[in-house]
Structure 1
Amino acid sequence: MRRASALPKPPAGQPLAEIHVWQTLRTLFPYLWQYRWRVTAALLCLVAAKLANVAVPLVFKDMIDGFSGQLLALPVSFLALYGALRFGNSLFTELREILFARVTQRAIRQVALEVFRHLHALSLRFHLERQTGGISRDLERGTRSISSLISYTLYSILPTLIEIALVLGILFVQYDAGFVLITALSLTAYVVFTVKVSNWRIAIRRAVNENDSAANTRAVDSLLNYETVKYFNNEAWEARRYDEQLLQLEDASTRSQTSLAFLNLGQQAIIALGVTAMMWRAAQGVVDGTMTIGDLVLVNAFLIQLYMPLNFLGIVYREIRQALTDIERMFGLLKQHREIADAADALDLPAERRMAIEFAAVDFAYEANRSILHAVDFTVPAGHTVAVVGHSGAGKSTLSRLLYRFYDVSGGSIRINGHDLRQLTQHSLRAAIGIVPQDTVLFNDTIRYNIRYGRPDASDEEVVAAARAASLDAFIAALPEGYDTRVGERGLKLSGGEKQRVAIARALLKNPPILIFDEATSALDSATERAIQGQLELAARGRTTLIIAHRLSTVMNADSILVMDGGRIVERGTHAALLAANGAYARMWTLQQRENDATTEPPANGVVG
């Protein structure tokens, strides 16, 4: 079964690659080190908290020994010091949290923003092949894991290591080396066992994540295509496909849970042996008279303080490894190659109202073995309208994608006012172009927001003027919430004609010198098409316009018409000249006229409806 995810997976049968721990940490470190003074202060608070924590059992020992010598005396100073140390541990711990909170949240924000911007900078090819559910889950888990990684390392692992060092030092100075040896061996056995088993579980955890992403992707894809599912009555089919992925997730999660139980059991066995050995040695010292009751209490307190955090070491280590895996996966998105990038010496396209477009012997192929365009050569003079027509698959829509520089040409060049697109910044290029696409996809927001998207800094008055120019104002006025009406997911609450008018208003609000109409009316009925065609012609006045169309009736008034077939221009001229030539265009025209006549011809029995 195919796994859905944002990034490529190893071929079937190959083990999952080990995460690159140090490389991931090196990538993350600069985001944290920007606040080096906060990091340093937080680490100092960490050390202070551990010193206070380790000092508590020492004071408690002296209190016990004091009670043993003078049963009726109340060691007030020891009690005060005991309380102060307890409070000091909490004080420095919370100060550490306060100091480091900004560092963590700012790092999360900056990384998330950088990944988000990079995703928008990636090529159209990447996004056509992407699976949105998998990418969103990778981004979500990656940003969340930054907080987990910092939390577990700064608040669990590092404090535990400092405390272990302090305790071993005290045991070595105050008692014989046997205590140090037992503690060190127990800790070493615990850590080695935890690391070995946790590393073995990494592949299982990754399988859980992969299947979780795949299940999420299937659910998102199915829900996004809700109408299609209903059209074909395939709810049960979608549920089965989703359940197949959930079954894989269930199996992987079960393996993860049972292996975790094995890990916990082994850890508890090691802890039990270590505690038993230490307490036996301390009790023997009390019996022999070499240790006091306070020493026994001290050793027990130290063991409790050490083993309580170690009790969670397996969980902490697993979560850290998982966090590193998720962060590496998110950083993997940053490493995705930007197929279309600005040249080092790229220039901004000069802002002019009159712009000419030139396709000079353009060749293009999406893949090496899939050629689309062959020596396409034409010019759209400034202020003129050129239409490109042809059958489906002729390569018409590819022209608009190349003009927007979603892809680079394989051969030849495309120029605007003499500037090769590859030598221009993408931002300045796309700022000069507006488009009304065949399939207008709107944001799940208000009509006002979707129109204003053409120029986000536009005023409400300019939005209303653009809607009026697109003949959308009457429709909006009839809505109870007017411009604040939400359009639904992908604009599905609006009809095709209403969505197209929003697209026209959006393009008019952008007010670019170049307009592209890419099959802008092909999905509409004839009456709606005629209504919108008038707005398109008005919008094109005074602008350099490229019309990509299938219906020839929509391009009759173009200054020039290009006929494409198999990725080549086979005819060019005005509507009248092409009809007179009696070639491919004339045949298409005749065929479409017959189709129109057939759809309007009354039934043979004279009964309508």
Structure 2
Amino acid sequence: MTILRKLGWFFRLYWKRYAIAFVALLMISCLAMVAPWITGQLVDAIANDTLIYERLVQEVGLLLSIGIVIYGLRVLWRRQLYGASFKLAALMRGKIYDHLTLMAPDFFQRHHTGDLMARATNDVTAVEMTAGEAILALFDGVMTGVAVLVMMVVMVSWKLTLLALLPWPIMGYFMWRFGHQMHDTFSEAQRQFSLLNDKTQESITGIRLIKAFGQQPQMERAYHDVTRDVSAANLAVAKVEAKYDPVIYLTVSTSFFLAVAGGAWLIYQDELTIGELTSFTMYLTFLIWPMFAYGWTLNLIERGSAAHKRIDELLQTTPTISDHGTRDSVESTHIDVSIKRFAYDEHSDVLHHIHFKIPPGSTFGIVGHTGSGKSTLIQLLLRMHEGSEAALCLGQHDIREYKLETLRRQFGLVPQDPFLFSVTIAENIALGCPEASLDDVRAAARLACIDDEILNFPEQYETLVGERGITLSGGQKQRIAIARALLIDPPVLILDDALSAVDLNTERQILARIKAARHGRSNIIVCHRLSAVLQADEIIVLRHGTIEERGRHTQLLQLNGWYAQMFRYQQIEAAVQHGE
């Protein structure tokens, strides 16, 4: 029952709904007790030959009226109770989503997408059922059980009641054991479901690569292995569930046997009438539901408890980036970076001795070999990561003094592998500016040299791009992402190797248009292809996490270092490709 205490905040929030449902269930339980009693009275009247037509009509009319009232009350409690549980699911999914948006990139490197999806879907549904069906079964089972026992003891026979209830403690013991088994097996089933989600998501996302490498048979085998594990885990849950009903039916059958045998003896002893025994057996039938409710409640609570534990583990994860800044405006986009050292762990520095400044309105280039720390540097600037020995200032203030939303609103990031949503091209470009007109969207697309290609699509800007932009080429996705960033016209535009999938001529056009359109605004260009930074006001060369060279393009060529060597190599490579 620990989960019910953990959900206390929700029950207090929607106490009116639960109170209305509780009262409706209580009234139903009380009204339902009338029918067996009236039936018993009618049986005795028939046995004694005292039943008259008027009384029969009156009793039947009363039963019909009670049935109509119970119907209305059932509609009422369902609307209140299930409505509340649906609200809980919406609140929990909202909490999970809000919490995930606070997490830094390292969190998503540790957690698989499928697992996070499982917690936000299946686990939330299990908790939702605890707040809905489990509460129903608990309330209704207890109230019906108490009402039945009161009628059996007070209105029929306490002796017969005790006799009929002898098997119940044994059933309670088995239900308790099954509940613990259900918690463990359901937790494992949810874990396996998370793995299945991971495998499904990876298979769909990487279907092109799988086909290109001819890995369909291997992936099918791997997928079948995962589905087999999921089936085995679900079968284990089903095996535990299968134990509930036989125990309940055995208990009910034994209770009926004892009731009929004991009732016959009491009738023989003139301590009970046939009508009272009839009422008693009907009341005993009503006890079947509390028995099932008891087992069902334990089942749902153990499922919900296991699911809530997984959700709670997620929500208790502390964001590595805290949003405690208070400044909500930026007076200058002057950037000052001073990093003594930064590491993802204590053993190896990713960046060390990095110092540079970016004046407002300038173009700044960051180049270097793969793994030199270029993207990490950008993530530090955006506070995706932070380190105790890294000081980054925007304007006159440390970036940690700004609210995260304020800080990140100053930047427009275009990553090398841009993410496109499964909506239209126009909606993807207007992501950061939903109120933008089609003319504004097209203007941004022209700056990114993608407008003409979009107009060649049958649906033009209304073309659906598919999941992650699967219907588009790499260069098209990059240019749409560039257009998306240009539309919001950020004070600082960051192109993180965002031109790697376009040809040299298109790259030159895009950079020329950006330079003309963004006069007075800053640009940071991170790249492998050095042609992208030829016009930069300053370029830094990162080697093994530190600045090895810095200067303008012509100055770096004169140094005859890594930059000059790489530039000559790329010039030769471009000439060879052009010759082909």
Identify the TM-score tier after normalising by the shorter chain. Answer: over 0.9
The code of the aligned residue for 1:415 comes to C
Change (3 A) 1:167 1:161: same
User: In 2, distance between residues paired with 1:113 and 1:41?
Assistant: 26
Matched, 1:300 2:278: no
Matched, 1:359 2:337: yes
Q: 2:110 maps to which residue?
A: 129
The code of the aligned residue for 2:508 comes to R
The code of the aligned residue for 2:457 comes to L
C-alpha deviation, 1:50, in angstroms: 0.7
User: In 2, distance between residues paired with 1:514 and 1:180?
Assistant: 80
C-alpha deviation, 1:243, in angstroms: 1.4
The code of the aligned residue for 1:105 comes to F
C-alpha deviation, 1:381, in angstroms: 0.5
C-alpha deviation, 1:35, in angstroms: 2.7
Q: Which of these residues, 214, 224, 227, is aligned with residue 208 of structure 2?
A: 227
User: In 2, distance between residues paired with 1:262 and 1:147?
Assistant: 24
SS at match of 1:408: coil
Matched, 1:154 2:154: no
User: In 1, distance between residues paired with 2:135 and 2:299?
Assistant: 15
C-alpha deviation, 1:181, in angstroms: 2.2
Change (3 A) 1:54 1:242: same
Match runs of 1:442-591 below 5 Å: 442-591=420-569
C-alpha deviation, 1:323, in angstroms: 2.4
Q: In 2, are the aligned partners of 1:497 and 1:528 still within 8 Å (CA)?
A: no
Q: In 1, are the aligned partners of 2:45 and 2:51 still within 8 Å (CA)?
A: no
Matched, 1:422 2:400: yes
User: Which digits, 9 at most, give the CA deviation of each residue in 1:396-416, with x for residues without a partner?
Assistant: 111111111100124130000
Q: 2:371 maps to which residue?
A: 393
Q: 1:64 maps to which residue?
A: 43
C-alpha deviation, 1:539, in angstroms: 4.8
User: In 1, distance between residues paired with 2:19 and 2:293?
Assistant: 26
C-alpha deviation, 1:376, in angstroms: 0.6
Change (3 A) 1:164 1:308: closer
Q: 1:105 maps to which residue?
A: 86
Q: 2:119 maps to which residue?
A: 138
Q: Which of these residues, 188, 212, 215, is aligned with residue 196 of structure 2?
A: 215
SS at match of 1:405: coil
User: In 2, distance between residues paired with 1:355 and 1:471?
Assistant: 27
Change (3 A) 1:463 1:143: same
C-alpha deviation, 1:378, in angstroms: 0.3
C-alpha deviation, 1:360, in angstroms: 1.5
Count of aligned residue pairs for this structure pair: 578
Change (3 A) 1:37 1:254: closer
User: In 2, distance between residues paired with 1:48 and 1:357?
Assistant: 70
User: In 2, distance between residues paired with 1:297 and 1:349?
Assistant: 76
Q: In 1, are the aligned partners of 2:465 and 2:472 still within 8 Å (CA)?
A: yes
User: In 1, distance between residues paired with 2:559 and 2:447?
Assistant: 37
User: In 2, distance between residues paired with 1:183 and 1:323?
Assistant: 33
User: In 1, distance between residues paired with 2:505 and 2:7?
Assistant: 58
Q: In 2, are the aligned partners of 1:362 and 1:414 still within 8 Å (CA)?
A: no
Q: In 2, are the aligned partners of 1:59 and 1:78 still within 8 Å (CA)?
A: yes
C-alpha deviation, 1:198, in angstroms: 3.1
User: In 2, distance between residues paired with 1:72 and 1:295?
Assistant: 16
Q: In 2, are the aligned partners of 1:194 and 1:267 still within 8 Å (CA)?
A: no
Q: In 2, are the aligned partners of 1:515 and 1:540 still within 8 Å (CA)?
A: no
Q: In 1, are the aligned partners of 2:382 and 2:407 still within 8 Å (CA)?
A: yes
User: Which digits, 9 at most, give the CA deviation of each residue in 1:491-537, with x for residues without a partner?
Assistant: 12122222222112111111111111111112333343334333443
User: In 1, distance between residues paired with 2:521 and 2:256?
Assistant: 84
Q: 1:335 maps to which residue?
A: 316
User: In 1, distance between residues paired with 2:449 and 2:103?
Assistant: 35
The code of the aligned residue for 1:372 comes to V
The code of the aligned residue for 1:434 comes to G
User: In 1, distance between residues paired with 2:229 and 2:550?
Assistant: 57
C-alpha deviation, 1:42, in angstroms: 1.8
Give the alignment's Cα RMSD to 1 decimal.
2.1
Q: 2:32 maps to which residue?
A: 53
User: In 2, distance between residues paired with 1:138 and 1:34?
Assistant: 23
Q: Which of these residues, 238, 257, 266, is aligned with residue 238 of structure 2?
A: 257
User: In 2, distance between residues paired with 1:124 and 1:263?
Assistant: 45
User: In 1, distance between residues paired with 2:565 and 2:544?
Assistant: 16
Q: In 2, are the aligned partners of 1:134 and 1:214 still within 8 Å (CA)?
A: yes
User: In 2, distance between residues paired with 1:260 and 1:580?
Assistant: 77
Q: 2:15 maps to which residue?
A: 36
User: In 1, distance between residues paired with 2:83 and 2:555?
Assistant: 70
The code of the aligned residue for 2:335 comes to I
Q: 1:348 maps to which residue?
A: 327
Q: In 1, are the aligned partners of 2:123 and 2:190 still within 8 Å (CA)?
A: no
| Greater Cα shift, 471-480 or 43-52 | 471-480
| Greater Cα shift, 556-565 or 540-549 | 540-549
User: Which digits, 9 at most, give the CA deviation of each residue in 1:117-157, with x for residues without a partner?
Assistant: 11111111111232112211221113322331133233222
User: In 1, distance between residues paired with 2:516 and 2:294?
Assistant: 70
Q: In 1, are the aligned partners of 2:338 and 2:392 still within 8 Å (CA)?
A: yes
User: Which digits, 9 at most, give the CA deviation of each residue in 1:454-505, with x for residues without a partner?
Assistant: 2223333322332233233222222221211011111121222222221121
TM-score, structure 1 length as denominator?
0.90
C-alpha deviation, 1:349, in angstroms: 4.2
The code of the aligned residue for 1:533 comes to L
- The answer for unaligned runs of 5 or more in structure 2 is none
Q: 1:607 maps to which residue?
A: none
Change (3 A) 1:119 1:182: farther
The code of the aligned residue for 2:360 comes to A
C-alpha deviation, 1:331, in angstroms: 2.9
Q: Which of these residues, 224, 231, 251, is aligned with residue 270 of structure 1?
A: 251
Q: 1:606 maps to which residue?
A: none
Match runs of 1:421-440 below 5 Å: 421-440=399-418
User: In 2, distance between residues paired with 1:260 and 1:131?
Assistant: 30
C-alpha deviation, 1:319, in angstroms: 2.6
Q: In 1, are the aligned partners of 2:340 and 2:352 still within 8 Å (CA)?
A: yes
The code of the aligned residue for 2:571 comes to Q
Q: 1:310 maps to which residue?
A: 291
Change (3 A) 1:362 1:519: farther
Change (3 A) 1:203 1:34: closer
Change (3 A) 1:263 1:96: closer
User: In 1, distance between residues paired with 2:77 and 2:95?
Assistant: 27
SS at match of 1:360: strand
Q: 2:217 maps to which residue?
A: 236
Q: In 1, are the aligned partners of 2:39 and 2:279 still within 8 Å (CA)?
A: yes
Q: In 2, are the aligned partners of 1:186 and 1:270 still within 8 Å (CA)?
A: yes
Change (3 A) 1:531 1:60: same
Matched, 1:379 2:357: yes
Q: In 2, are the aligned partners of 1:212 and 1:249 still within 8 Å (CA)?
A: yes
C-alpha deviation, 1:58, in angstroms: 1.4
- The answer for unaligned runs of 5 or more in structure 1 is 1-20, 603-609
Q: In 1, are the aligned partners of 2:141 and 2:289 still within 8 Å (CA)?
A: no
How much identity, in percent, do the aligned residues show? 29
User: Which digits, 9 at most, give the CA deviation of each residue in 1:242-263, with x for residues without a partner?
Assistant: 1112222233333333444344
User: In 2, distance between residues paired with 1:27 and 1:449?
Assistant: 41
C-alpha deviation, 1:309, in angstroms: 4.3
Q: 1:4 maps to which residue?
A: none
User: In 1, distance between residues paired with 2:127 and 2:185?
Assistant: 21
